[in-house]
Structure 1
Amino acid sequence: MEQEAMHGAVTPERERRIRAALADVTARTTAMPSEVFLGRKHWPTTWSPDMEFKRNSSFHSLLRTPPKTSGPVSAPKLGAILRSSPRKRLLLGEVERIPLTPEKIDFSDISTPEKFKITSPIKSTPPMKKSRLEKLTKFSGPIDAALKGLSRTQLISVIKNITYTHPEIEEEIRREMPTPDLAPLEERLSYLKLNIFKSLPTSRLTSITDSPAYSRVATHLDAFKKCVVEQGKILVESQHWESVIRYVFLAWTYVRATPVWDNEPHNTQRIQCFKALTNFCMSALKKGDLSQDFLIDVQDKLQGMVTDNDDIQTCLKHIQGQLQV
């Protein structure tokens, strides 16, 4: 045992021989030509197929060098990559080969294949183009049939464009223009009033003007009021002042026919309708160039409406002032 221990110990003579051998190896290596080293292919310490693919593939010539991080890579993250299986490293290499961001593509290279160019996943909205169906085409059918298919706005636009180009046609249209037809407006009011009365209780033992009855028709009352106001506004905008006043008389009779409720706050829609019609009448009296005979006829009819709503008195006073001039 002592001989083996002495044989394994490093003596000065043994250490000298080891140094001489290492020096000889170093000298031989230094004397070898550099071409020998250049001709050899050195494999990395940790080799995987994906690393070799990245070295030889021309695809990665298109990728820019990724920006350096501000800090060193943490040891656990690097160790996890080295300890991963070849299959996992191959998958990681596939992820790296996908150019996810524009920064990784060298767009200065005009030889970049089209299939490698980046397109945003959020497609921009293409410019609106009129389809062939939307393009203007000359209508060859009867003109009256064509006008029936147009909206109110389209009709106004067509007539306005024609009269702008041909001013003489505007004068002819003014001479031939009829007064607004109030029949469709009355038909709408009649339909909505009928809905109100259809919703009222039909039992003789139940009141039709109490709060429970009002709750059943409240929605129909709102629809009726909305119709009264909107139809009047359209006529006021048209500036057919005589037709505005005729509509006031027409709609007033339908508002008068609606129920009067026991609870006064429930009569709000009714009062609002009367006030709106009064305002329409006043606008027509102020802005319209109405004849004396027409004003006298209006005055007689307004006097019978005072009992429904006292606000109509303002219209009567205005007519009286005009008749005295």
Structure 2
Amino acid sequence: METPPRDEHTLTERRTTRSALAEIPVRLDMLSVNENGRFTTPTHSADGEMNGTHIPGRWHMNVSINVPSSLVSPSPSPDEQVIQQRGRRRMPVTWSPDVDAHKQNGPTAPNRTPVKGSPAKSSIVLRSTPRKRLLLSDPKELFGTPEKIRKMSPNSKKVSSDKYPPNCTGTIDMALQALSPEQLIGVMKNIIDSHPELEEEVWEKLPSPDMRPFEERLSDLKKNIFKSLPSSRLTSKTDSPAYSRAATHLSAFKKCVFDQSRQLVSSQNWNCVMEYVLMAWMYVRLTPLWDNPPHNTTRRQCFRHLAAQCMTALKKGTWTEKQCEVLEDKLGGMVPDCEDVQMCLKYVIALKKKL
């Protein structure tokens, strides 16, 4: 088989193509990337020398070649594009919306941080009056003295403290019913001070205190104690659950005994004090006796308080022999309830011997 003759033109064309392909890697090594992401090639000056700085393996030049940026680096994400469009973030001291920035935010305008603008360009309706600030500097300045307040507001409305004069059309006893005990005491004192000669007559006509209101009050409180107890026959009325239901009423009963006795002692009417002690002692004795000993503390406190008031009345009062005999008989029956009565009984016996 004969070999076809070689064509010289064809061989020359092949050699040229091979040499051109061989020069591509060399030229790519001479390229460098600039700041805009484009490749640069060396340029020649007028004297035929190349301008650029030689770094081993490549040349950095100023001539750009239109190479797609996708070959250099991957395309940024949408979030990164938004961040790049915002620009450099600024933190103003005070911020207010800007109308110009709102107008510039069109479909193609970048999303930038609002910049402080003038009040005239603001799109938000501001408060008509400035917001008040509370400056906590000194409590004395915030809450001034009454004298300082009067000086600061001389035209302030003054509250009249004048009382209306009495305008009664009834009798004197009807007018006295509207007065409090303190007011009645004041009226009597003023009359006696103005007319000292009436003091003896007042002493003669002064009645003894009425014990009925005191006894009615104690009776009502005792009834409340028993009403609070369970009504079923299957449950105990002196156990702990029953005491928890009556504890509030027991406290009210104790307070009433203490207040009434102190009121009579303050009057220094010792006969009435002794009468009240004997009467209140019977009501305290009628209160429930609980199964648990600590629950009987209220009962013992009432007994001891009445015994102390009895001793005070015996020491400060004036007693006859007949009164001492009656007290000795009644106090003897009170000893089992409270041991403190034993001292009162001894004092009455000693007082009786002296008479």
2:183 corresponds, among 148, 154, 159, to 154
Report SS of the residue matched to 1:290. Answer: coil
Q: 5+ unaligned residues in a row in structure 2: which ranges?
A: 1-91, 99-115, 131-150
Deviation at 1:128, TM superposition (A): 4.0
Equivalent in the alignment of 1:319:
348
Deviation at 1:201, TM superposition (A): 1.0
Is 2:299 the counterpart of 1:299?
Answer: no
Equivalent in the alignment of 1:65:
none
Percent identity of the aligned residues? 50
Report SS of the residue matched to 2:340. Answer: helix
**Larger % of helix: which?**
1
| Letter matched to residue 84 of structure 1 | S
CA–CA separation in structure 2 for the residues paired with 1:196 and 1:264 = 18
1:111-190 equivalences under 5 Å are: 127-131=158-162, 134-137=163-166, 139-190=168-219
Q: Spell out, residue by residue over 1:219-239, the C-alpha distance to the aligned partner (whole angstroms, 9 max, x if none).
A: 000000111111111011111
Is 2:224 the counterpart of 1:198?
Answer: no
Deviation at 1:126, TM superposition (A): 5.1
| Letter matched to residue 167 of structure 1 | P
**1:190–1:84 Cα change, 3 Å:** same
Q: Could you state the TM-score of these two structures normalised by the residue count of structure 1?
A: 0.62
Q: Spell out, residue by residue over 1:40-59, the C-alpha distance to the aligned partner (whole angstroms, 9 max, x if none).
A: xxxxxxxxxxxxxxxxxxxx
RMSD between aligned alpha carbons?
Answer: 3.2
CA–CA separation in structure 2 for the residues paired with 1:311 and 1:221 = 22
**1:124–1:264 Cα change, 3 Å:** farther
1:10-89 equivalences under 5 Å are: 84-86=118-120
| Letter matched to residue 239 of structure 2 | D
Q: Could you state the TM-score of these two structures normalised by the residue count of structure 2?
A: 0.57
Q: Spell out, residue by residue over 1:126-157, the C-alpha distance to the aligned partner (whole angstroms, 9 max, x if none).
A: 554225xx233364421111111111111111
Deviation at 1:309, TM superposition (A): 1.1
Q: Spell out, residue by residue over 1:14-44, the C-alpha distance to the aligned partner (whole angstroms, 9 max, x if none).
A: xxxxxxxxxxxxxxxxxxxxxxxxxxxxxxx
Is 2:313 the counterpart of 1:284?
Answer: yes
| Structure of greater relative contact order (alpha carbons < 8 Å, 6+ residues apart) | 1
Report SS of the residue matched to 1:310. Answer: coil
Equivalent in the alignment of 2:292:
263
CA–CA separation in structure 2 for the residues paired with 1:85 and 1:174 = 87
Equivalent in the alignment of 2:254:
225
Q: 5+ unaligned residues in a row in structure 1: which ranges?
A: 1-74, 97-119
**1:279–1:85 Cα change, 3 Å:** closer
**Larger % of strand: which?**
2
| Letter matched to residue 311 of structure 1 | D
